[in-house]
Amino acid sequence: MFIKERVRPVQLDLLPSLLNRLPSSHPGYEKVQHHLRSINAGFGGEQYVDERLRHMNWDVPHFIVCDLNVASGRTFCQIDTLVFTPHYVLVLEVKNFSGTLQFQGNRYQMTRITREGDEEGFDSPVSQVLRAVKEVRILLRKAGLSLPIFSAVVLPYARTIVKGTTDDVPIVFSKALPLFISNLPTTNPLVATEDLQFAAEKIASFHQPFIPKNFSSRYEFTLSDLRTGVICADCGRSAAKQSIRAHYCHACQMPILDGYVSALRDWRDFISPLIRSSECQTFLQLPNKNATYYVLKNLAERIEYGLWRIKEL
C-alpha cells in the first residue's frame, strides 16, 4: 500500500518555460535541456519501479513512501522510495541511466559511458544510498520504530549495462526486485501492522516539498539575457497582444489566455519574488504606466505561491 505517492517534479514544468525565455544561443540553454531530459528520465524510471512494487505479490504487510524530502540541518536529503514492513525497512534509490555504468567499490564516483562513447562522472548512487540510510535511521528513531534497514540501487531498465561492483549496497534491476525483496529476512514481526502504518505515516509527514531556486546562478543567466513579453508555451514564439487577458500565437494559430499571468510567473520563478512596476512594464512589454498599473492591480494577485510581492504599485 502506498501511503505517499510520487509527485511530478516541478522542474518538468519550470524548465520548458525557462527554455522559452532563454535564447537558444545562450550558453546555459543546453544545460537546461540536459537537466530537463535527465529529470524526465529519472521520473519515468521511478514511476516504472513504483508500478513494479504496486503489482508485486507481497507476502508481508507493507507501506510505501515515495519521494521523501527531509531537511537535515541545512541540507536536504531526498529518498526515492521507502518500504516499511514489520520485519525491516527498505531504502531504494532509483537510477535511470542509459549506456554503461562503471562502479568502483564504494568510491564516491560512478562513471557513465553513453551510447555515443562519451564519458561522464556522477556522484555514486551508492554514496547517496548510504546518506539516505543514515537519514532513515534518524527518522525511525523519531517515529519510535526499531527495525533493520536494507537498501539497494535500482536500475529500472535492463538496457543499462553495469560494470564493476559495489561493496555495501547491491545494484538490482527492477525485474529482479521481487526476488531481491523475497530474499530479505522475514522472521518474527518486530512491530504490529497498525503501529507500523502509524509510524510510516508519521515519517511521511516529515516531508518538505522541494522548491527549486537560484535558476540564474545555476544556468548562468541574467535578466537581460531573457526574452521579454508573452511567449507561446507550445512553440516558444512571441505572442501578439489582443487584449489585457488574451494574446494570439500566429505560428500555432491559437489564442493564449492570461499570457501576462504566465509571464509574471516566469519572473517570479526565474528572476525574483519581487517586482517593481517599471520592471513589469519592461518585462511584459507594456506600452505605459497605466497599462502596467492595470496588470499589476488586476492580474498579479493570481500568482499563487512564494513570497510574491509587488513593489511600488
71/251 with CB nearer Zn ion: 251
**Candidate residues 232, 271, 280, 296; the one interacting with Zn ion per rule CB under 5 A:** 232
Quote the least distance from Cβ 237 to Zn ion, whole Å: 5
Give the interface segment with Zn ion, choosing from 96-104, 111-119, 194-202, 227-235 (CB under 5 A). 227-235
**Residue 130 to residue 152: CA distance in whole angstroms:** 10
Quote the least distance from Cβ 261 to Zn ion, whole Å: 17
Give the interface segment with Zn ion, choosing from 65-73, 83-91, 200-208, 230-238 (CB under 5 A). 230-238
Return the half-sphere exposure (C-beta side, CA atoms, 13 A cut-off) of residue 312. Answer: 9
66/249 with CB nearer Zn ion: 249
119/234 with CB nearer Zn ion: 234
- Compose the 176-215 pattern: x for residues touching Zn ion by CB under 5 A, - for all others: ----------------------------------------
* Residue 151 · residue 133 · CB < 8 Å: yes
**Residue 71 to residue 73: CA distance in whole angstroms:** 6
Quote the least distance from Cβ 259 to Zn ion, whole Å: 11
* Span 243-272, contacts to Zn ion by CB under 5 A: 249, 251-252
Maximum pairwise Cα distance, the chain = 74
Quote the least distance from Cβ 238 to Zn ion, whole Å: 9
Quote the least distance from Cβ 56 to Zn ion, whole Å: 44
Query: Which residues, in sequence order, are CB contacts of 307 under 8 Å at separation 6+?
Result: 273, 274
Q: 306: closest CA among 259, 268, 280, 261?
A: 268
65/232 with CB nearer Zn ion: 232
Residue whose entry in the numeric block shows the C-alpha cell 537519514: 135
**Element (H or E) spanning 283, and its range?**
helix 277-283
Give the interface segment with Zn ion, choosing from 131-139, 152-160, 191-199, 241-249 (CB under 5 A). 241-249
Grid cell for residue 77: 536529503
162/235 with CB nearer Zn ion: 235
SS3 293: helix
Report how many residues bind Zn ion under the rule CB under 5 A.
6
In Å, how far are 39, 239, 301 from 247, measured between CA atoms? 31, 6, 20
| Alpha carbon 210 to chain centroid, angstroms | 8
The three-point CA angle 116-121-123 to 5° equals: 135
**Candidate residues 235, 240, 246, 261; the one interacting with Zn ion per rule CB under 5 A:** 235
234/312 with CB nearer Zn ion: 234
Applying CB under 5 A, the residues found at the interface with Zn ion are 232, 234-235, 249, 251-252
